Structure 1
Amino acid sequence: MSHASYRSPLADRYASPAMLELWSLQTRHGLWRRLWLALAESERDLGVAIPADALTQMRAHLDDIDFDKVAEYEKRFRHDVMAHIHAFGDVAPAAKGVIHLGATSCFVTDNGDLIQMRRGLELLRARLVSVIRALSAFAKQWKAEPALGYTHLQPAQLTTVGKRATLWLQDLVLDLADLDHRLANIPMRGVKGTTGTQASFLELFGGDHAKVRELDRRVCQAMGFPGSIPVSGQTYSRKLDQQVLDVLAGIAASAAKFASDLRMLQSFGEIEEPFGKEQIGSSAMAYKRNPMRSERINSLARFVLSIAGTANETHSVQYFERTLDDSAIRRITIPEAFLATDAIVILLENIVTGLEVHPARIRARINEELPFMATEALIVRAVNAGGDRQAVHEVIRVHSIAAARAMKDEGKPNDMLERLAKDPAFPVPSEDLAAVTDPMRFVGRAPQQVDEFLAEVVDPILVAAGEAAPPKEEVRV
């Protein structure tokens, strides 16, 4: 590897080997050659005079691409597709005169991009299912562990650790549904010609419309697609890019929401992301244990979310049948969005499978707030013991304010219950006060909701996915 020129950090530090290979020049241009072969084979099957030797030679040289020769041709022609056509023709001389017959450049560039995007979604799907599986196990394990809930970033009614995990999990389940919809519906551009009218192919087949349609069907089938987009200009509608990048942005946003929550939980000391045995949190503060994985998710997610908007902008200015201002940005944004999302999901799985929960700290933080949350139940207990509702309310109000003031100004623990127990105006025995503040009284149906969500929503997804899982990727930095 050269250290004298820039390389994308997504390639050097974050994305997986599988995703890097998918978006490599070797894969991209190997697909171009396969598309040219599928076109020539289908044209020959439909009556075009293409020699059998041409197909044999093309098949024999789908992957041995001489990129130095391609660079020489591109320097001469200033056209990347023509450079690859000539380089392919050099090693398949019998096909030199028929490669790309009837096609425009977007036959290989657009169809190749769609194939790569579909494969990229398949890679991400497998990783996303693995995250869902791991997070499901975490939610089940901690379904009945009470924890402070938050609204407005202020302590609110209790939830459980597992119930909170189902909120993260549900986001990912929704993302998976979006991804599956795109996978099921992504088309090829197909064989459409220079402005999408298929005029060149109609000429090739002597005006036979049925053969032109059959050519389009056969090429799509050869590349593993059920069909092509019904109509196109020179390019497929760039709205397809927007739809795919929106799926990636959705995954990134869900991961970022999880990462933000976890960063706060780690600052509370309740739940922490994994930390390597020799990992250094800070070059200056040796005691630090920073949530760097979660922070990286937030950082990469911001990048993916910024990319997603460019697809809509590009689509909006594709005048008439196409303009070329889509080319450079798509070469950058589509692969980079997939690489960054890949890195995000790898980090997500790494974190979820290594989460450290600290129940004692969670309980200590509950104890700081729970007496306040129990005031309504305390009022009911006091009334049932013979107290006056309004008088009891006033007693609780006075003691709760005093306890809160002592906590804030003097750093004392929450002693509201002790204050009430000593007040003769509050007619509830101290042992009853403790019973009222059992945390499990305040979690509602959280444990049952976890069981129901996993059984009814998540488990069917995991059963359908089977046990196969992508190889675990090491977090590279």
Structure 2
Amino acid sequence: MIPRYTRPEMAKIWEPENKYQKWLDVELAACEAWASLGEIPKKSLATIKKKAKFTISRIDTIEKTVKHDVIAFLTSVAEHVGPDSRFIHKGLTSSDIVDTALALQMREASDIIIKDIKELLRVLKSGALKYKNTLRMGRSHGIHAEPTTFGLMFALWHEEMKRNLSRIEAAKKAISCGKLSGPVGTFSNVPPFIEQHVCKKLRLSPAPVSTQIIQRDRHAEYMNALAITAATIEKIAVEIRHLQRTEVLEAEEPFEKGQKGSSAMPHKRNPVGSENLSGLARVVRSHALAAMENIALWHERDISHSSVERIILPDSTILLDYMLARLTGILRGLHVYPDRMMENIEKSFGLFCSQRVLLRLTEKGLSRENAYQLVQKNAMQSWQEKKDFRETLKGDPKIMQYLPGNELDKIFDLKYYTKNVDYIFKRVFG
């Protein structure tokens, strides 16, 4: 991933140094297991553990000739260890090392993402509580519907992000899996004990059954969990973009001192952060599809998945880490305009009360069809004449026949629409 969207902690997980160290960790754990069976002399094991290391530049040089990264790695390690290196990689195949080590990298990446989500959840909860009773107009199909609160929007985002957290945690568990079962998964030249020992040492679960590789449905599950989380981020970003539109202007991204919005128009304050998140979400989602394509491999394994994973796993985790951090910053500094929210509520002339009027008329004895036609006629008239809906209704004798005096006025009380906010918040936050 390009440096622009890369944060240091996540980047380190995918650097060659960490990858090769994970490979070495697996190899050393396997040597310990073999030694416990008496297959590697204790003196040789001590030499291996003392001298085993690698040189990245040397691995790169060797790979140019052998065209095989694991062989290049093993050759580099052997050059450091000496004659006892003959015990390293005993009975194993390349994927025993690569897949088991990859699980460790993906687990590390998961831990960072989980930490990011928990920080975002704290910000979302804070926003929900702060704006719990801040009225705003709810919209369906982009059209004014009924009043809600800005806090409920934050509560909704919080609940969805909690589900994402659960998905990431489940995907982390699914991918925390190792295998050291040989070329086709039959333990032909390596006893199951070696796999058990290595996985226990590295805090992984042994794959109950495998081929040459760990099956890629696990990786697809992981990538889809990332993609769904990215989609939620975009969902929030799109809402902020809509709210920042000049005609709406109920909220704005933070705009720092010295920041500029346009090379041509000095007045512009564009929602570039949210737009950036919308774009990056598309990349992460596309990578989930690539992971799905990796599930169907030939027989006990082909290598078509490898080139894909070298791109999508680092890039998706790096991007999601960046996206979560950026969204958290946007929401933490979000400018919110309650007065503008009330102005927008008033722009609908009280038409949001149409369902209440409809229900009250049916309670008075009108059929739903007749009540609907009556309310709709007055609502359309109010909209066309830009006239207060309540006043339009008061001018209709049929309406006043069923809703006399103050009864109609009571229907237009905004507090009616927030009467269950406390109940909803209790369900979300306890």
1:349 to 299, 315, 328: 328
Which residue of the partner structure matches residue 288 of structure 2?
A: 308
Q: Call closer, same or farther: CA 1:199–1:399 in 2, change over 3 Å.
A: closer
Alignment of 1:381-392 (within 5 A): none
Is it true that 1:25 corresponds to 2:4 in the alignment? Answer: no
Inter-partner Cα distance in structure 2 for 1:42 and 1:356 = 59
Q: TM-score, normalised by structure 1?
A: 0.81
Which residue of the partner structure matches residue 129 of structure 2?
A: 140
What is the letter of the counterpart of residue 371 of structure 1?
A: G
Tell me, yes or no, if the aligned pair for 2:179 and 2:213 is still in contact at 8 Å. no
Tell me, yes or no, if the aligned pair for 1:248 and 1:304 is still in contact at 8 Å. yes
Tell me, yes or no, if the aligned pair for 1:86 and 1:96 is still in contact at 8 Å. no
Deviation string for 1:93-116 (max 9, x for gaps)? 253212211111112211111111
Tell me, yes or no, if the aligned pair for 2:233 and 2:323 is still in contact at 8 Å. yes
What is the letter of the counterpart of residue 325 of structure 1?
A: S
Tell me, yes or no, if the aligned pair for 1:175 and 1:247 is still in contact at 8 Å. yes
Inter-partner Cα distance in structure 2 for 1:97 and 1:437 = 84
Q: Call closer, same or farther: CA 1:100–1:271 in 2, change over 3 Å.
A: same
Alignment of 1:29-428 (within 5 A): 29-62=20-53, 65-201=54-190, 212-225=191-204, 227-267=205-245, 268-316=248-296, 318-369=297-348, 371-375=350-354, 377=356, 400-407=379-386, 414-418=387-391
Is it true that 1:442 corresponds to 2:417 in the alignment? Answer: yes
Q: Call closer, same or farther: CA 1:378–1:67 in 2, change over 3 Å.
A: closer
What is the letter of the counterpart of residue 243 of structure 1?
A: E
Q: Call closer, same or farther: CA 1:279–1:95 in 2, change over 3 Å.
A: farther
Let me know the Cα RMSD of the aligned residues.
2.9
Pairs aligned (count) = 424
Inter-partner Cα distance in structure 1 for 2:105 and 2:377 = 66
Instruction: Tell me whether 128-137 or 420-429 shows the greater mean CA deviation.
Output: 420-429
Deviation string for 1:355-375 (max 9, x for gaps)? 221100100111112511224
Instruction: Tell me whether 42-51 or 77-86 shows the greater mean CA deviation.
Output: 42-51
Q: Which runs of 5+ in 1 are unaligned?
A: 1-7, 202-211, 408-413, 456-477
Inter-partner Cα distance in structure 2 for 1:384 and 1:249 = 47
Deviation string for 1:298-343 (max 9, x for gaps)? 1111111111011121112x11100111111111111111111111
Inter-partner Cα distance in structure 2 for 1:379 and 1:221 = 65
Is the partner of 1:150 in helix, strand or coil? Answer: strand
Tell me, yes or no, if the aligned pair for 1:162 and 1:447 is still in contact at 8 Å. no
Deviation string for 1:105-140 (max 9, x for gaps)? 112211111111111111101110111111011111
Shift of residue 397, structure 1, vs aligned partner: 5.9
Q: Call closer, same or farther: CA 1:90–1:58 in 2, change over 3 Å.
A: farther
Tell me, yes or no, if the aligned pair for 2:138 and 2:147 is still in contact at 8 Å. yes
Inter-partner Cα distance in structure 2 for 1:291 and 1:14 = 17
Deviation string for 1:42-64 (max 9, x for gaps)? 111111133535434434544xx
Deviation string for 1:221-260 (max 9, x for gaps)? 12122x2101111111111111111110111111111111
Q: Call closer, same or farther: CA 1:222–1:432 in 2, change over 3 Å.
A: same
Shift of residue 424, structure 1, vs aligned partner: 8.8
Shift of residue 273, structure 1, vs aligned partner: 2.1
Q: Call closer, same or farther: CA 1:309–1:379 in 2, change over 3 Å.
A: closer
Q: Call closer, same or farther: CA 1:258–1:390 in 2, change over 3 Å.
A: closer
Which residue of the partner structure matches residue 6 of structure 2?
A: 15
Shift of residue 392, structure 1, vs aligned partner: 10
Q: Call closer, same or farther: CA 1:123–1:380 in 2, change over 3 Å.
A: closer
Shift of residue 187, structure 1, vs aligned partner: 3.8
Is the partner of 2:206 in helix, strand or coil? Answer: coil
Q: Call closer, same or farther: CA 1:369–1:451 in 2, change over 3 Å.
A: farther
Q: Call closer, same or farther: CA 1:310–1:396 in 2, change over 3 Å.
A: closer
Inter-partner Cα distance in structure 2 for 1:375 and 1:322 = 62
Shift of residue 158, structure 1, vs aligned partner: 1.8
Tell me, yes or no, if the aligned pair for 2:172 and 2:222 is still in contact at 8 Å. no
What is the letter of the counterpart of residue 315 of structure 1?
A: I
Shift of residue 443, structure 1, vs aligned partner: 3.2
Tell me, yes or no, if the aligned pair for 1:370 and 1:439 is still in contact at 8 Å. no
Inter-partner Cα distance in structure 1 for 2:183 and 2:375 = 79
Tell me, yes or no, if the aligned pair for 1:102 and 1:200 is still in contact at 8 Å. yes
Tell me, yes or no, if the aligned pair for 1:145 and 1:160 is still in contact at 8 Å. yes
Inter-partner Cα distance in structure 2 for 1:390 and 1:301 = 45
Instruction: Tell me whether 419-428 or 88-97 shows the greater mean CA deviation.
Output: 419-428
